[in-house]
Structure 1
């Protein structure tokens, strides 16, 4: 595991994520926080997927979009490494061909963001 995956986002734009439901691909853990950069992109993505829904409830639409992305995440642990610390989605065309990282912090909560958000 690289140093990048052991540090939380450093730019201070981490927001509370209102979806408290667990995610099967994340071993049932909920996503507690999302970076500001990712949240803005999720709202934009949701606007394309469900324009009326995103207009009526941008936070709910962003949660739905992240839930869809998290379903495709996989654990990055290699043989001999601790599992469940970093999950990653495939690159998402609608997000600039970037993957989403789902990082479990020392407190056990998961923060979602782009790889650049964790440097």
Structure 2
């Protein structure tokens, strides 16, 4: 806990007087550079503020549907469904592998170009 006597030393009026006293002892060019520094900093912060408001395009939510199975399914029905699901899974994995191979090829071409340039 901070003692009350410590906080009693802080006063906005004293701070304002101290700032005025400090600035009154500065030369003209120092004040000009102070204003310029505050202005440039303000412009940069304002630019970041306005640049941070990027609207994202709408993306439909991805919905995952689960199938409901009867409780009394036979083992043959389960195995038949697993065969069908495995074929779908392999097709998805093959498509994913194809896309990854294309992406790797793009990066390899880019890397080869950069190496030719000496980078």
State TM-score, norm by structure 1: 0.18
Q: Normalized per residue, which structure has more strand?
A: 1
Larger radius of gyration: 2
The structure with higher relative contact order (CA 8 Å, sep 6+) is 1
